[in-house]
Every structure is written in structure tokens, then in C-alpha cells.
């Protein structure tokens, strides 16, 4: 019988959970092994426990309480979606409370002392590439002003640009040389970034210079300069969405023929299904994996339950991400149909776009 089962280590590698996490969820009654060897105590899992294990891994990453994870593993899809909605509202309420508390703490601490001016030199081509890779995901909602700019995150290894509108997130890095010093994060208005991008075109000098002071951001190329005051808002902690631990490797890494996928999404009459968000109709593209492991756009009648991976995404957002990434070959990463999906270039680990899925 054991030859038909997975060991705890095999399930850990396939699901994204650690061995210790699987032991914990066994003791909690969330994911009980199909067989426990009475002599050795080894745990063995059936093939049909892989999907619940991946669900547990995803719910664990978003911080869902153990009791609700246990309920989700045993529930029908509609009930799982309701649990996700409740948890999302809890996260949003918690974030709003944290922002209010941060504002009170900042008022108690007093104004931040100027850190002096930070100056770095950047490759003009790399800075242009980074701007092009993130500009599409800048938010436009006036009620969320912290999302209407581009984060300039300056670290010892260079400059990272980050944007998000809540539904998608994009980031890219431009290598830089700079004196040793503390990291600096400033939020630049989108209009300023557009002016900088215009400076980078043509036969300008091969190098751009970025200067960040306590009240200004300046980019210079040759004898041309653009200066602006940073936006006075706290940009979200984007690092929480990034995979930084080896154990967080995605369950699926799907090679993407970007040219073919763009053509399929843009062709007249491309198949979509209708959904609604905040009263606004959305045309959802449904993607699946073919027999050769490639990505394809599914017809509406193929979007229902069945074998194989299926997930929905705003087709226009995906096109933006494909265009921003560039290149004929890309990689799409995700853990399942209700987890964020990442679009990456195979030759640049520092640049990616993250899109929120749309439930089918």
C-alpha cells in the first residue's frame, strides 16, 4: 500500500508546506495522514490529499486562523470563498487600524530628522527598463493616494521601483553605485516619473544620477534635470508579497509564449466570462494548462470544474504585465486558482508583476 502513498517529505515538497507544518496540521486534525506506520510512526498521505495540502499552504501564507483553515479544507468551494471574504475584510480592517496607530505614533515621536542627501549613479538604460516595467500598475484611485506614485526604494545593491493599485503589483531593479549608507524609501509622483522617462530617451549620457534629500527627489541626465517633492504617504509593505524563503517555491511554474498569449488575448472575439467587481462588469480571461504544460486561453464552457489547473484573470491587466515584461518568453508562477500569480522574465529575477486572480 505504501507504494501508492506519499511520504511526509514528498507531500511537503509538492505542497509548499514544511514537514513540521504537516506534523502540526496532523495534530490539529486539519490534515490527517491516510496511514501512520504503527512501528516507525511514519506518516503517509494519499494522492488526493495534495490539493487540500496546497490549500492549507495558501491559507497559512495569508494568515488565516487554524480553525478556519480546518473548516476550509472540509468545505465546498462556495463556503471556502465566504471564508476568504471574511478573512480579507479582517485583514483590511487590521491594516486600517495599524495605519491609524502608526499615524498616532509618528505624532508622538515628532518629525523625522533629515538623513542628508543620498546620491547614486544609475545606468540610463536600466532605469528606463525599470520604469517601463512598473509604470502600468500605478494606482489612480484618489481615495488611495499612497498608491498613486512610484516607490523609489534605494538599497546598497541599487534602486528598486515598485507600484501597485491593489489588484496588481510591479517591481523592477536598476543597478547602481552609491556610497555606503542607510536604505532610503521615497514615493515619487507618477507625473515626475513620466518626465524622468522622457529624459532617458535619445542620445543622452549613458548614466543618470538620482539625488534624494529630505524634501526633494532629483534625476539628472547630462545637463537636464527633473526635481519634485516626494508624496507624503506611506507606501504598503510590498515585501510581504514576495517569495523570499526557499520553502515558498511556487507550486506551478508555467512557461509562457508571450507573443502567442498576447495574440490569443487580443484577437477579436477572444473568449471571456463576465464577472462584476464593485458594481463594474469585468471580462475575465480563463487560462489553463495544455497537455504539454503550456498556457492557453480557455473557452467559457471549459471554465467549469474539471481536471487540470484553471484560473481567471483580468485579461487587460495580464496584457499590461506581458507588455511591461517584454521578451518573447516569460514564466508564470502561482500556487493555485485563488492565489496571486506572478509574471517573470526568465533572465531577470529582480523584475516581476503580481496579479490578483478572479474567482471563477
**Are 253 and 283 part of one and the same domain?**
yes
> What confidence score (pLDDT) does residue 72 get?
93
Instruction: Enumerate the β-bridge partners of residue 297.
Output: 287
Q: Which domain-ending residue is among 74, 101, 134? A: 74
- In terms of domains, do 230 and 265 share one? no
User: With bands split at pLDDT 50, 70 and 90, how would you rate the model's confidence at 307?
Assistant: low
pLDDT of 288 above 50: yes
Task: Check residue 150 and give its pLDDT.
Answer: 96
Max Cα separation, the chain?
Answer: 77
276 forms bridges with which residues in the sheet? Answer: 281
**Which range marks the domain in which residue 312 is found?**
243-355
Same-domain pairing of 247 and 210: no
Residues 282 and 304 in one domain: yes
Domain assignment present for residue 83? The answer is no
Interval 194-223: pLDDT, tens:
999 998 887 667 888 898 887 899 999 888
Q: What is the pTM of this model?
A: 0.65
* Predicted local confidence at residue 247, as pLDDT: 42
338 and 316 inside one domain = yes
Mean pLDDT of 121-126: 88
Bridge partner list, 252: 334
Residue 113 lies in a domain: no
Same domain, 255 and 342: yes
Residue 25 lies in a domain: yes
Q: Is residue 325 part of a domain?
A: yes
Which of 218, 238, 258 terminates a domain? The answer is: 238
Residue 97, domain member (yes or no): no
The H or E element containing residue 97 is: helix 77-109
Number of domains in the chain: 3
The answer to whether residues 324 and 134 touch, using CB atoms and an 8 Å cutoff, is yes
Report the CATH number at residue 300. Answer: 3.10.150.10
> Is the pLDDT assigned to residue 252 strictly greater than 60?
yes
Task: State which H helix or E strand residue 176 sits in.
Answer: strand 176-177
Cell of 191: 507625473
Percent share of the chain, pLDDT over 90 = 36
Q: Which among 197, 216, 238 is the end of a domain?
A: 238
234 and 133 both lie in a single domain: yes
| Cα gap 98→198, rounded to integer Å | 38
57 and 169 in a single domain? The answer is: no
Would 38 be classed as within a structural domain? yes
Domain assignment present for 87: no
Quick one: 141 and 250 in the same domain?
A: no
Q: What is the pLDDT of residues 144-173, one digit of tens each?
A: 898 999 999 987 778 899 999 988 999 998
Q: What is the pLDDT of residue 111?
A: 54
Amino acid at each position: 500500500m505504501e507504494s501508492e502513498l506519499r511520504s511526509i517529505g514528498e507531500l511537503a515538497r509538492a505542497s509548499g508546506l514544511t514537514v513540521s507544518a504537516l506534523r502540526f496540521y496532523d495534530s490539529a486534525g486539519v490534515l490527517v495522514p491516510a496511514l501512520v506506520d504503527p512501528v516507525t510512526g511514519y506518516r503517509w498521505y494519499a494522492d488526493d490529499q495534495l490539493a487540500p495540502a496546497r490549500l492549507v499552504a495558501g491559507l497559512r501564507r495569508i494568515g488565516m486562523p487554524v480553525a478556519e483553515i480546518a473548516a476550509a479544507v472540509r468545505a465546498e468551494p462556495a463556503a471556502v470563498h465566504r471564508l476568504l471574504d471574511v478573512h480579507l475584510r479582517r485583514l483590511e480592517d487590521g491594516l486600517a487600524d495599524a495605519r491609524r496607530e502608526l499615524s498616532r505614533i509618528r505624532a508622538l515621536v515628532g518629525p523625522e530628522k533629515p538623513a542628508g542627501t543620498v546620491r547614486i549613479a544609475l545606468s540610463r538604460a536600466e532605469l528606463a527598463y525599470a520604469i517601463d516595467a512598473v509604470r502600468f500598475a500605478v494606482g489612480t484611485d484618489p481615495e488611495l493616494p499612497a498608491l498613486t506614485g512610484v516607490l523609489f526604494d534605494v538599497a546598497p545593491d541599487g534602486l528598486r521601483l515598485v507600484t501597485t493599485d491593489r489588484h496588481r503589483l510591479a517591481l523592477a531593479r536598476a543597478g547602481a553605485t552609491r556610497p555606503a549608507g542607510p536604505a532610503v524609501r521615497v514615493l515619487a509622483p507618477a507625473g515626475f516619473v513620466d518626465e524622468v522617462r522622457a529624459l532617458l530617451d535619445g542620445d543622452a549620457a549613458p548614466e543618470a544620477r538620482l539625488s534624494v534629500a529630505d524634501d526633494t527627489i532629483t534625476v539628472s541626465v547630462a545637463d537636464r534635470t527633473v526635481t519634485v517633492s516626494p508624496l507624503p504617504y506611506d507606501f504598503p509593505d510590498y515585501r510581504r508579497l514576495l517569495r523570499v524563503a526557499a520553502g515558498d517555491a511556487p507550486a506551478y511554474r508555467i512557461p509562457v509564449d508571450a507573443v502567442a498569449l498576447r495574440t490569443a488575448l487580443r484577437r477579436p472575439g477572444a473568449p471571456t466570462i463576465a464577472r462584476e467587481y464593485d458594481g463594474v462588469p469585468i471580462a475575465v480571461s480563463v487560462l489553463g494548462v495544455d497537455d504539454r504544460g503550456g498556457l492557453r486561453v480557455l473557452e467559457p464552457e471549459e471554465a467549469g470544474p474539471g481536471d487540470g489547473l484553471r484560473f481567471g484573470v483580468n485579461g487587460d491587466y495580464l496584457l499590461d504585465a506581458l507588455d511591461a515584461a517584454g521578451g518573447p518568453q516569460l514564466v508564470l508562477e502561482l500556487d493555485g486558482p485563488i492565489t496571486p500569480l506572478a509574471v517573470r522574465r526568465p533572465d531577470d529575477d529582480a523584475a516581476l508583476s503580481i496579479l490578483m486572480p478572479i474567482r471563477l
